[in-house]
Chain A
């Protein structure tokens, strides 16, 4: 009888999580403020120097060119930042008595987690819109058509979905809320070692190899192509492949952690 109610129970749990986000906005605000601060820091502190170093600009790249270059990386960082928050909120939720109640009810159990993931994806949507508007205010301009923007939105949702399943797992695996807020930090740092902030050619060989092949690079390159109106290449499929893989592993891991009998 469980499976018939998976969709309904997930919708109920999503509503619960949206109420949580509304009732406890400070965490969300902090998570959106972080990428905005990085955007300001990189554009105004480093942008004047880094702009001329951009490829294809022959040393004439401006602060504004640099803004356009890093916006996709900042957007991915926004997604990672919200995902980090989800690890915290999942771990916090697991400490509350209502989770034990859910476990004794005849509901689709995984809906507890689906509620967290769908709530987080919704939250990511708002965060990405805010950061994008902010980038436009700073002078970001794009030739991308509506179709490319739609593609960018779709890709961001997919990335949010996959990273969130991973961080829900981290939240469940953590033995405390503090641990849950620390383990996913690498997700926010990894975009720095990618094509997000400087071209990878400038990096030493070993690091460059890592930067070019880590999942965030294909995501950032695809997103950059989409929002600047450039044609996407094979990176698109690589990015989608990474997302599907991460989502699947994150889902199976989270599910296993949640369904195991609590070791009391």
Chain B
């Protein structure tokens, strides 16, 4: 088995709607059996890339090969190789979990015996046995997402696209889903996933592409990207909202998390810098603080000049 043959090859991909450029020359290569994460805020063009690679949209320009098939001319070949799980559930809510899986098995043209076995296996693997004969509309968010992914995987695709697979999921469901993705990769499946969650890319991906305003602004392993940012940040935990607000005003470059009562202040790693931070703080309303090396949040901020969470869709270059 050669690990060098690319499952996804994209060169010079562009897409625009009128004056609005969504993708502005994207190049990326994903070797077979690896995970590639497209990381970026809403409006960066992540879903557009997935839609183009999965034949839902036609690109304006670019050379794109999926599992060796040209995406515009060889639809059938591309579609036979891929499986897609989007951010909106692609399940039939009026059917039961079992019927949904059976539907996919039949559309994947599995023979009757294989289809029956595979449906049972999937229900067990995705912890849906008890709910198998209930309508999918009664499922919880996590169950729907599991069913959705099971429906993608029952056709045994060699390449799967996961468009924000864990958005809106609770931490446990996210970890379950990550485990399933890792299992697929261990079986040689290639995964392209999009995410706004930096820890998700860090956890799953072999390589990460940072997408901003329709361009890949950086690419590399999580470690490589982190190395591009010197230092890291100081994370301060406050005891009350008043203390947080006061300090946030004093450090305009810091990111505030009002819910967790924390303030993340960029830090160049020097003692002098750390002292400056400490000088501005008061024991009365500080519960604790941590000095952390750069995480992908810092990377994003350093690479794009704005935080990952902020919707950046208005700044797309024309």
What is A's interface to B at a CB cutoff of 8 Å? 1-2, 5, 8-9, 12, 15-16, 19-20, 23-24, 96-98, 100-107, 261-262, 264
B99 A104 Cβ-Cβ under 8 A? no
CA distance A97 to B47 in the complex (A): 14
B84 adjacent to A104 (CB under 8 Å): yes
Question: In the complex, which residues of chain B have a beta carbon less than 8 angstroms from the beta carbon of A96?
Answer: 92-93
| Contact pick for B103, options A16, A97, A106, CB 8 Å | A16
Contact of A100 among B90, B106, B107, B155 (CB under 8 A): B90
CA distance A107 to B79 in the complex (A): 9
Cβ A107 vs Cβ B107 within 8 A: yes
Evaluate contact between B86 and A97: CB separation under 8 angstroms: yes
Most buried by B among A2, A16, A106: A106
CA gap between A1 and B91 in the complex, in Å: 25
Partner of B54, one of A9, A23, A104: A104
B94 at the interface (CB under 8 A from A): yes
Let me know if A104 and B79 touch, CB within 8 A: yes
A105 to B90, CA, bound (A): 12
B42 interface hit (Cβ, 8 Å): no
The majority secondary structure among interface residues of chain A is helix
Q: Name the residue on A nearest B99 (C-beta).
A: A19
Chain B residue numbers with a CB within 8 Å of A19 are 94-95, 99
- Minimum CB–CB distance from B152 to chain A (whole Å) comes to 8
Chain A residues contacting B95 (CB-CB under 8 Å) are 16, 19, 23
Contact B56 A262 (CB under 8 A): yes
Residues of chain B contacted by A97 (CB below 8 angstroms): 86, 88-91
Cα of A103 to Cα of B51 in the assembled complex, Å: 11
B285 within 8 A of A: no
- Closest-by-CB residue of B relative to A93 is B92
Q: How far is the CA of A39 from the CA of B79 in the complex (A)?
A: 50
Contacts of A24 in B (CB 8 A): 94
Q: Does B306 contact A (CB under 8 A)?
A: no
Contact of A264 among B57, B84, B94 (CB under 8 A): B57
State whether A100 touches B56 (Cβ < 8 A). yes
Known: A12-B103, A16-B103, A107-B107. A23 touches B94 (CB 8 A): yes
Q: Is the Cβ of B90 less than 8 Å from the Cβ of A98?
A: yes
Question: Do A8 and B90 touch across chains, with their CB atoms under 8 A apart?
Answer: no
Instruction: Please report the C-alpha to C-alpha distance between residue A100 and residue B109 in the assembled complex, in whole angstroms.
Output: 19
Q: Using Cβ atoms and an 8 Å threshold, which residues of chain B touch A104?
A: 54-56, 79, 82-84
For A98, the chain B residues whose CB sits under 8 A away are 90-92
The answer for the CA separation of A8 and B155 in the assembled complex, in Å, is 16
User: Cα distance A100–B88 when bound, in Å?
Assistant: 10
Pairwise interchain contact A8-B109, C-beta atoms closer than 8 A? yes
A100 to B91, CA, bound (A): 10
Is B217 at the interface (CB under 8 A from chain A)? no
Q: Which residues of A contact B88 (CB under 8 A)?
A: 97
Establish whether residues B57 and A1, one from each chain, have CB atoms under 8 Å apart when the complex forms. no
Residues of A within 8 A of B155 (CB): 105
Residue in B closest to A111 when the chains form the complex, CB atoms:
B107
B16 sits at the interface (CB 8 A): no
List chain A residues, Cβ under 8 A from B156.
none
Among A2, A104, A262, residue most surrounded by chain B Cβ atoms (within 10 Å) = A104
In the bound complex, residues from chain B placing their C-beta under 8 Å from that of A261 are 56-58
| Given the contacts A19-B94, A97-B88, A262-B57, A105 and B107 also touching, CB distance less than 8 Å | yes
User: Which residues from chain A contact B76 at a C-beta distance below 8 Å?
Assistant: 1-2, 106
What is the 8 Å Cβ interface bit string for chain B, positions 39-83, against chain A (1 contact, 0 not)? 000000000000100111110000000000000000010011011
B138-175 to A contact mask, C-beta < 8 Å, 1/0 = 00000000000001100100000000000000000000
Q: B135 near A: Cβ within 8 Å?
A: yes
The 5 A-B residue pairs with the shortest CB-CB distance in the complex, in nearest-first order: A101-B90, A106-B79, A97-B90, A106-B80, A12-B106
* Complex-state Cα separation, A1 to B84, whole angstroms: 20
Taken together as a complex, chains A and B put the C-alpha atoms of A261 and B57 apart, in Å, by: 6
Within 8 A of A (CB), among B99-122: 99, 103, 106-109
Closest chain A residue to B151, Cβ basis = A101
Closest CB in chain A relative to B72 CB, distance in Å? 11
Q: How far apart are the CA atoms of A112 and B284 in the complex, in Å? A: 65
Q: Residues of A contacting B84 with CB < 8 Å?
A: 100-101, 104
Smallest CB separation, B51 vs chain A (Å): 7
Q: CA separation between A96 and B100, bound complex, in Å? A: 14
Contact: A12 with B107, CB < 8 Å? Answer: yes
CA A130 to CA B58, docked complex, whole Å:
48
Kindly state the separation between the CA atoms of A1 and B69 in the bound complex, as whole angstroms: 15
Contact with A along B230-272 (1 / 0, CB 8 A): 0000000000000000000000000000000000000000000
Residues of B within 8 A of A264 (CB): 51, 56-57
A96 to B94, CA, bound (A): 11
Rounded to whole angstroms, the CA-CA distance of A15 and B95 in the bound complex is: 11
Which residues of A have CB within 8 Å of B56?
100, 103-104, 261-262, 264
B13: min CB distance to chain A, Å = 16
Measured between beta carbons, the chain A residues less than 8 angstroms from B83 are: 104
Bound CA–CA A261/B59 (angstroms) = 11
User: Which residue of A has the minimal Cβ distance to B108?
Assistant: A105
Q: Which residue of A lies closest to B81 (CB)?
A: A106
User: Please, which residue of chain B has its CB at the minimum distance from the CB of A9?
Assistant: B107
Q: Contacts A105-B155, A106-B79, A262-B57 given; indicate if A16 touches B51 (C-beta within 8 A).
A: no
Given A262-B56, A264-B51, 14 other A-B contacts at CB below 8 A?
A2-B76, A5-B109, A12-B103, A12-B107, A16-B103, A19-B94, A23-B94, A97-B86, A97-B88, A103-B56, A104-B79, A104-B83, A107-B107, A261-B58
